[in-house]
Structure 1
Amino acid sequence: MDLPLPRTAYDIDFDDEGRDGHAFGRPPGLRPEQWPRGRVNGLPMAHLFTVRVPAPYRCAGEDLAGLSVFQADDHVADEVEGAADTIAGGAPPAHEPEAAAFWSALAAYAKDGHPRERYREDEIGGGWAWIRLTEAELAAPACPLPDPATKEPDQTDDDCVDAWRHDRPPRPLRVRARTDDPNAGKRYDEWGTSGSGYVGMHSAEGERLGLRDRFFDRCHFGGTATAPNGGDFGPFFLGFGETLGDPNLAGGGFAHLDLAADEIDWSQ
């Protein structure tokens, strides 16, 4: 879908009166069997946040008004052999009777997962998933947690996050238009080498405009980005740090989800 370049960037703030989604909590509009699962251990992924997407950033369609984002600590998880293949549509491997609920859940997810789920791995092997939601799905009740019986009986990934361990009360969000962000609609380019016109946060002009003081470490759609070690993402992006649902970004990292390319990256 071709969209005009956005003219406005938007901040995502915690607000007890907010009606634009929530961090933590549970995603709306899904069935438990559609809850994304990690490809390494097959556990339901942690729901980080669900947020209303401003109209200029709805790259997949005007009617897809929301976005739910999930994470799995696949880079440190103990592999359950056959989980990834089963999620990809293969037959579950031979297993003990007590693990039947786990393998049945993976097979059901492979067959009836949400049609708009996107799954990606980052550079260190961590798993990410996001689902675009219609207005009806965004306004729907929160999805119940998957049945704990669908956990593989022998799993002891105490260092890994999953839907059950990450489950916390939701914190409401509000999406607000930024004032005078010179980088709305521009591809990220901190040092001005691409000719996009992007004003780097640490450039002389960026310092004159106070971009760091105004926008550093803010969760947002588009505009001036917090990118500690650079990045490559277009003007249609969602930037978020560890405040937004407590993702594992190695303590102080910042992630950028390119909404047009359906890719995610993060840096410290």
Structure 2
Amino acid sequence: IISLTDPTAVYPERPYKYADPSLTEAYDLTMTGPVDLARRPSSGWCYGRPPGIDARRWPVSTTNGMPLRHAFTVKLPPQYRTLGDEYVAISLFVDEQWETPPASRNVDTGGARRADPHRFDMEFMDNDYVLFWLTEEEFAAPLGAPPAIEGAPGPGWLSKSPLDYFGEFNLPKTVAEQQGKNVFSAGGLAVNELLAVARPARGWKNLPGTEALDYGWPIEITLREGDPNVGKPAREFRHENEFSGYIAAYSEEGQELGLERFQDWHAHLGGTMFPMQGYPDFSPFYIEISEIFGGFNFGDGVAQIDLKEMKLEWAC
């Protein structure tokens, strides 16, 4: 007998439909201006080099054989450590998204995947993504470096400055740069002077790629207050959301509750989801990321990663 009121009876691949009472908190993730990674940011960072991933473990593209780029490493709050308390952080690497990659070399990375049980390979829209779960020891380990490239030009993110590779429009703005837009900002000069101490002397955006890797944009993690969707899996259709009580941000009820107030983030963990198109069938244990959070190209869209199922989707 198939229950017509139970979507998992018709679609058994959808294991999450009810609210999970163990998940009680959502968090907003915001980047601050780049710092020398010798001063290791305590909650993680975007861009730069990852911790604990040396050249032997560094993932390479299955389509062109080039090293994937480190996008971000973040130390997760305890409720989002879905692999167990031992694994406290995640590092995400991404394939080439900004330039035409070199001719295909069809590298087989199956052996690397099998040798590293805490590595998860995800492919979406012809791009490779590789996520590593890190222990506390790995998160505190020396910064890794990509493998050497022999017989071919290296990837653009390694051979060019961030400005030349990403382009000005696609890079995050420091507080000082934002302050500079408003000459009447109170304390603007003082803010600029304080931030200049932590920034590379030549400016991170203009550093050669190899030097830029020594700097990262620290991640600040802030508890989100008052989000009614914490622990509730989002679904595309209203009748599916009735099982968990999830309220879509732009539904009539969501607008009455003012859920659009939760839309201002570089990334966030859990709570109200803001997909550009459809809602993925993900668990409530997810991270939603903007393009600026690690330098992605989602066609002006956003992406979500399910930290339970190790799946990634994005839409523009």
Q: Same fold (TM over 0.5)?
A: yes
Counterpart Cα distance in 2 of 1:19 and 1:192: 40
Aligned match for 1:13, one of 5, 16, 30: 30
Counterpart Cα distance in 2 of 1:180 and 1:23: 27
1:213 to 1:117, Cα distance in 2 relative to 1, 3 A: same
1:187 to 1:112, Cα distance in 2 relative to 1, 3 A: closer
AA of the residue aligned to 2:231: G
Aligned match for 1:247, one of 296, 307, 311: 296
Corresponding pairs, count:
237
Checking the alignment, whether the CA contact within 8 Å between 2:113 and 2:120 is kept in structure 1 is no
Aligned partner of 1:104 in structure 2 is none
Summarize the alignment of residues 145-160 of structure 1 with structure 2, pairs less than 5 Å apart: 145-147=146-148, 150-151=149-150, 153-154=151-152
Aligned partner of 2:248 in structure 1 is 200
Aligned partner of 2:110 in structure 1 is 88
1:230 to 1:163, Cα distance in 2 relative to 1, 3 A: farther
1:218 to 1:241, Cα distance in 2 relative to 1, 3 A: same
Show structure 2 runs of 5+ residues with no match. Answer: 1-19, 36-40, 163-208
Counterpart Cα distance in 2 of 1:145 and 1:164: 12
Are 2:233 and 1:187 equivalent residues in the alignment? Answer: yes
Question: How much does 1:141 deviate?
Answer: 2.1
Specify which structure has the higher proportion of helix: 2
Show structure 1 runs of 5+ residues with no match. Answer: 90-109
Looking at CA atoms only, which structure, 1 or 2, has the larger radius of gyration? 2
Summarize the alignment of residues 18-97 of structure 1 with structure 2, pairs less than 5 Å apart: 19-73=42-96, 77-81=101-105, 83-85=106-108, 87-89=109-111
**Over the residues paired in the alignment, what is the CA RMSD in angstroms?**
2.7
Checking the alignment, whether the CA contact within 8 Å between 1:145 and 1:163 is kept in structure 2 is no
Are 2:164 and 1:142 equivalent residues in the alignment? Answer: no
Summarize the alignment of residues 160-239 of structure 1 with structure 2, pairs less than 5 Å apart: 165=160, 167=209, 168=212, 169-189=215-235, 191-194=237-240, 195=242, 196-232=244-280, 233-239=282-288
Checking the alignment, whether the CA contact within 8 Å between 1:41 and 1:77 is kept in structure 2 is yes
Q: TM-score, normalised by structure 2?
A: 0.68
1:213 to 1:29, Cα distance in 2 relative to 1, 3 A: same
1:190 to 1:211, Cα distance in 2 relative to 1, 3 A: farther
Counterpart Cα distance in 2 of 1:52 and 1:84: 30
1:154 to 1:136, Cα distance in 2 relative to 1, 3 A: closer
